[in-house]
Structure 1
Amino acid sequence: METVTKKVWSPSTEQVCEIELPAESIVETALLELDYPVGGLHKRKIAEALAERFSLTDEQTNAKLKSENGPRAFNFHVGKVTGTLIRSGKMMKTKSGRRDINREQVSEEIGVSKQDSDDSRNTPEKSIERNYQLIRRELATELLQKIKNNTPTFFEKLVIDLLFKMGYGGSREDAQAVGRSGDGGIDGIIKADPLGLNVVYIQAKRWEGNVGAPPVRDFVGALDGEGVQDGIFITTSDFNPAAKEFAERSSKRVILINGSQLARYMIDHNVGVSVEKTYEIKRVDSDYFTENAEDS
């Protein structure tokens, strides 16, 4: 990996020293390949993700510019490259101040690059698929914004509607009734099967920041208090690592659904969306021509 040398202040030695960081071209490629959730990532989260990707040491990630009061050298390095990408149009700032990739421009450039290097990899079908995925991501962003602009009661109803479409709830009447229960720290109770042999408790939170372990712990406690084994915790934001780890290690079966997953499920199960256009891709039916040739 190509690197650059930076003069920094080391917190561990409390002295000025030199460290190696990934070159700007390497950081740029990593930024464009990063998996951005719907709504983008905070710049600190981007730096953390890249530090993990490059397997940087604590010395490399914690070193400061110029003095102990300066910014982290690696974060500043990533921010500088991010700024260049924003000015070029490949990345953008969201309204909430996060950073996101400009998928339309990057997709176009990738398409042109692939066509120049290998025309067979840039077929019309692949172009359609690429643009289809772009439309889905833009739709997902719009859906989450609509949810955040609505009421908590609406969000709880939306969650019930979605789970019903996914096969939970028995009858729609049952699903709507449990969606209005919302007591004991539980926002909804829905049947796990048509006969209602098992139930699933639901927690639905419209949060801006990531959900930590305490709310998930409280939810698991509510399940335990009701003698229920299964729960679904849904948020419009995301879950931090501690929350995910707690859910995985819990004795209960708890599914965590973040904003990106929620929007994808809504699109896949036609909740809050409608079909605008449908394109059919057809091919030659070789059997038709073979059978008719044999008959003649």
Structure 2
Amino acid sequence: MKETLPSYEAMLPVLLMSLADGITRPLREVHERVCRHYAFSAEQLADTLPSGRQTTVRSRVGWAKTYLVKAGLISQPQRGQCLITERGRAALASGQTIDNRYLAQFSEFNDFYETDGLSRKEAAASLADLLTDSPSGSQTSDDAYGLSATPQEQIEQALAAINQALADDLLAEILALSPRFFEQLVVDLMVAMGYGGSQQDAAHTTRYSSDGGIDGIIKEDRLGLDSIYLQAKRYTDKTVGRPEIQAFAGALDLHKARKGVFITTSGFSREAQEYVGLIEKRIVLIDGAHLAALMIEYGVGVTTRQTLTIKTLDSDYFLEE
């Protein structure tokens, strides 16, 4: 989806043109005008950054505004307001392509664009090197860390690549260990996610058995008002099909259970996924990719090597009474 969206750099002239009439407009209205220009679909407008915390379009419009402000093509007479400047009018009248190369002729923009002697493109590549311990030239493309991506996107793309590599490593480690270890890992993950109470409680309420199609039972909450039945399959190339999910559902019937989680290091067939939507019981399917993502999110089998803090303006602080 993100490939179909214009870069923040492509939005520069569009955003500037939205202010060409000289009227001061709030950034919200500028955003709406840019969206109308491109006639974005609902799907495009819903597309988010890897973190899921902001839409890609809003992020790129925001960064396009920032770059134009830093180059002096628009001003902000009040917080959240945008107004074209004489320099901005001249840029539109020049007929030249308004991109980062055009903005680079202005010293104010260059002062902003340089980061401790490095361009932001070079700084982004250095960040990738720092986080991945690999030369940026070998793994970082201009598309991923070039001028088409905003600084926020560059960071999130780097983090997504790191997490993907970590997920692959996690699955490789799991497959190299015993099925018994995998079953314990599943319990550890469920506890980390808030199920089963304490680790000690989970250990007491989890039973491992080779019959009945149940690998474990864990409390849904600290009081044990309900239980979740677990099935863990450590597969490599084998896809879990509908027959195995049906067998698990039958095992839940045997235990008069209503909720189950089936976790595998591989994947589920389309028939298996469709089946869980047809039955009354609540069975959640977690494949290898989802399992690794949950382990990373809840800190199971991973450790924090480095923490980066990104700060933003606290608008409430600057409110005068």
Same fold flag (TM > 0.5): yes
2:271 is the counterpart of 1:271? no
Q: In 2, distance between residues paired with 1:177 and 1:105?
A: 49
Q: In 2, distance between residues paired with 1:246 and 1:106?
A: 41
Q: In 2, distance between residues paired with 1:246 and 1:107?
A: 41
Deviation string for 1:78-116 (max 9, x for gaps)? xxxxxxxxxxxxxxxxxxxxxxxxxx978624236x62x
Paired letter, 2:244: P
- The correspondence of residues 60-71 of structure 1 with structure 2, limited to 5 A, is none
2:229 is the counterpart of 1:196? no
- The correspondence of residues 183-222 of structure 1 with structure 2, limited to 5 A, is 183-208=211-236, 209-222=238-251
Secondary structure at 1:173's aligned position in 2? Answer: helix
2:180 is the counterpart of 1:147? no
- The correspondence of residues 1-150 of structure 1 with structure 2, limited to 5 A, is 108-111=141-144, 115=147, 118=148, 122-150=149-177
Secondary structure at 1:249's aligned position in 2? Answer: coil
2:254 is the counterpart of 1:235? no
Give the drift of 1:286: 5.7
Q: Which residue of 2 aligns with 1:283?
A: 312
1:226 pairs with 255, 259, 280, which one?
255
Cα 1:171–1:282 change in 2 (3 A) is closer
Q: Which residue of 2 aligns with 1:39?
A: none
Give the drift of 1:171: 2.7
Paired letter, 1:111: A
Q: In 1, distance between residues paired with 2:276 and 2:188?
A: 24
Per the normalisation by structure 2, the TM-score is 0.53
Q: Which residue of 2 aligns with 1:49?
A: none
Provide structure 2 residue ranges, at least 5 long, that are not aligned to the other structure: 1-136
Q: Is contact 1:157–1:179 with CA below 8 Å preserved after alignment?
A: no
RMSD: 2.2
Q: In 1, distance between residues paired with 2:165 and 2:297?
A: 14
Cα 1:279–1:184 change in 2 (3 A) is same
- Name whichever structure is richer in strand by fraction: 1
Runs of 4+ in 1 over 4 A off after TM superposition: 104-107, 284-288
Give the drift of 1:194: 1.2
Q: Is contact 1:169–1:190 with CA below 8 Å preserved after alignment?
A: yes
Q: Which residue of 2 aligns with 1:171?
A: 198
Secondary structure at 1:281's aligned position in 2? Answer: coil
Q: In 1, distance between residues paired with 2:256 and 2:315?
A: 59
Paired letter, 2:141: E
Cα 1:240–1:106 change in 2 (3 A) is farther
Give the drift of 1:180: 3.8
Count of aligned pairs between the two proteins = 183
Cα 1:287–1:231 change in 2 (3 A) is closer
Q: In 1, distance between residues paired with 2:260 and 2:186?
A: 13
Per the normalisation by structure 1, the TM-score is 0.57
Q: In 2, distance between residues paired with 1:246 and 1:105?
A: 44
Identical-residue share of aligned pairs (%): 45
